[in-house]
Amino acid sequence: MKFEKALVHGTLVSRYKRFLADVRLDDGTVVTAHCTNSGSMKSCLEEGAEVYLTPVDEPKRRTKFTWEMIKINSGWVGINTGNPNKLAFEVVSAGTIPGLEGYTNVKREVTFGDSRFDIYAENDREKCFIEVKNVTLKEGKYALFPDAVTTRGQKHLNTLTEVKRQGYRAVMLYVVQRTDVEIFALAKEIDPEYAKTLKKAFNAGVEIFPVQAIVSPEKIIVGKILNFEIAL
């Protein structure tokens, strides 16, 4: 996934009201950027750290920048929650994720029951519903999800379990937008109900793909598939 516009460099002043961040650009100007990440952003917030923003030219929009990434532990962490969906659609369409290749028809935003899933993919052998989640929380060598309680996430898991029960393929695709981690696991202390629901869904046949993304100011590409631990 290549960025369509050249990103603007700066340093983080502060993030506040969940959806706003003040950034000091290299020329000293302080601008307010939109933060798409509504979670706690624990372990990927550091005042004074380098960041990159996308300039936005929309007259009706109050903020003229979107916050894309922040430099933590000498590496870039992608914090724009919309980018994993774009990346996932590209790589599933191209068949570049082992285990999720070979689909001839790939769509975005498809409804099943009372849930809308990020990706639907099919070929002459199977139909597959894929839900994509952005992962930025780090603890030691672990990438953890979620970083805040997510009842919507629990709903997606329950519907994916029903998808599987009806004979279709059901996949949770976790896009880990940082490279300083080795294993994907559940943040069960933050949201124990999500952890229980994911374990139940996995036991029912819902598949888990934790994909590590390599983030840079020019593009985001898929790296390796991480091992995962979901024991409660």
> 137-165: per-residue pLDDT in tens?
999 999 999 999 999 999 999 999 999 99
Q: Rounded to whole angstroms, how far apart are CA atoms 76 and 216?
A: 6
Whether 87 and 70 share a structural domain: no
**Is residue 1 included in any domain, yes or no?**
no
**CA distances for 121 relative to 83, 105, 187, angstroms:** 19, 6, 29
**Is residue 3 included in any domain, yes or no?**
no
Amino acid 232: pLDDT: 56
Q: Is 140 exposed, middle or buried (0-12, 13-18, 19+ CB in 10 A)?
A: exposed
**Is residue 45 included in any domain, yes or no?**
yes
At 51, which CATH number?
2.40.50.580
**Is residue 2 included in any domain, yes or no?**
no
Amino acid 60: pLDDT: 85
Say if residues 181 and 141 touch (Cβ distance below 8 Å): yes
- Residue-number span of the structural domain to which 141 is assigned: 83-229
Q: Is 38 helix (H, G, I), strand (E, B) or coil?
A: coil
Whether 112 and 49 share a structural domain: no
Whether 98 and 69 share a structural domain: no
Whether 150 and 103 share a structural domain: yes
Amino acid 189: pLDDT: 94
Low-confidence ranges of the chain (pLDDT < 50): none
**Is residue 167 included in any domain, yes or no?**
yes
Whether 52 and 138 share a structural domain: no
Which helix (DSSP H) or strand (DSSP E) does residue 162 occupy? helix 151-165
Amino acid 230: pLDDT: 87
The tally of domains found in the chain comes to 2
Whether 132 and 213 share a structural domain: yes
Amino acid 59: pLDDT: 84
Whether 206 and 101 share a structural domain: yes
Q: Is 138 exposed, middle or buried (0-12, 13-18, 19+ CB in 10 A)?
A: buried
**Is residue 189 included in any domain, yes or no?**
yes
Residue with tokens 């559940």: 186
Residues 6+ apart with CB under 8 A from 63: 20, 32, 33, 34, 56
At 198, which CATH number?
3.40.1350.60
Whether 146 and 50 share a structural domain: no
Say if residues 56 and 85 touch (Cβ distance below 8 Å): no
Chain centroid offset of residue 116 CA: 16
